[in-house]
Structure 1
Amino acid sequence: MPEDKDGKNFFLMKLIGIGFSEELPYGSESGGSLVERTHKFSGRFQTEVLSYLKSGVSFVVAPSLSRDVLSSECETIGPLALLTDGKLFWSSDLSCYVERYRVELPQEFLERMAVNNWKIQAVDVSVLEI
């Protein structure tokens, strides 16, 4: 069992990935299709959802840029990072797909955002595991 610097045991929190669609270079088939989920987000609470996605706690930063795989120009979105709320994790470009293409998010993710009052709580990244 892992121990902290004081020798006390602690548990690692296994994070659940959201939005790692098969079209993305870092996605997987089990993540489903990004294309099939476009234009399905109702837009209800869109401002709150986008704010939540963008304010996730960064715990992994990749030395690469994210590119829009749904754009014919494959334009740059920005630096790629993994963000979390302490239970779920997603890529930093997910907010772009929700905003530009109204990509639908899993209902349990939306419910978690609402339960958290649309705000990311404090996250101890030292106990996270993906």
Structure 2
Amino acid sequence: MGRVERGAARKVAGVRPVGFFDELMPGWGFRGGGSIKDAARTSGEPDEQGILSYLRQGAEIWSEMGAQPDVLDPEGPILAGAGSLYTDGVWLWRDDLTYYVATYHLVLPQDFITHVRERDHAPPRVPESQLLDILTNDLGIRVGRAGTAG
């Protein structure tokens, strides 16, 4: 893809963030996720497996090489690539959201749950041009061609 510069993230009228809780870093500049502790519960949605499938099948838009501990359990696993990002073209989430929903049955915004159900738990294919637009406009990442100013 070429040279990549990671700038300050900003929310534009593009993708909507889901699962960017205060304890999770990087937060990409998205605010309002609240504490993950407040979102944890003992059981999930009746269709939690479908929601997890949707999250796993999103289009990967950014890969993080780092690893982070489970922020709710100091004895829990280390999550490789936790800050990697996925999207369905409408919503944007971190890779570790799948782990936290599966393990702690997080409450997610009803708008997101409705969106997933309306698509029968199957995210659409996101065109590369839209992924680049999300990287540039929503995440503030400049992507240039190798050997150019970007």
TM-score bucket of the superposed structures, by smaller chain: 0.7 to 0.9
Identity %: 27
> What is the distance in 2 between the residues matched to 1:108 and 1:41?
19
- 1:34-59, CA deviations, whole angstroms, 9 ceiling, x for partnerless residues? 00010066331011011001111000
Consecutive unaligned residues of structure 2, counting only runs of 5 or more, are 1-11, 139-150
TM-score, length-scaled by structure 1: 0.82
- 1:53-102, CA deviations, whole angstroms, 9 ceiling, x for partnerless residues? 11110001112123211112252122231000101000000011111111
- Pick from 110, 114, 117 the counterpart of residue 113 of structure 2: 110
The alignment of Structure 1 onto Structure 2 pairs a total of residues equal to 119
- SS at 1:90's partner residue? strand
* Pairing 1:66-105 to 2, within 5 Å after superposition: 66-73=68-75, 75-80=77-82, 81-105=84-108
Mark the CA change 1:29 to 1:84 in structure 2 (over 3 Å): closer, same or farther: closer
With a CA cutoff of 8 Å and minimum separation of 6, indicate the structure with the bigger relative contact order. 2
Bigger strand share: 1
Consecutive unaligned residues of structure 1, counting only runs of 5 or more, are 1-11
User: What is aligned with 1:57?
Assistant: 59
Cα RMSD for the two superposed structures: 2.0
TM-score, length-scaled by structure 2: 0.71
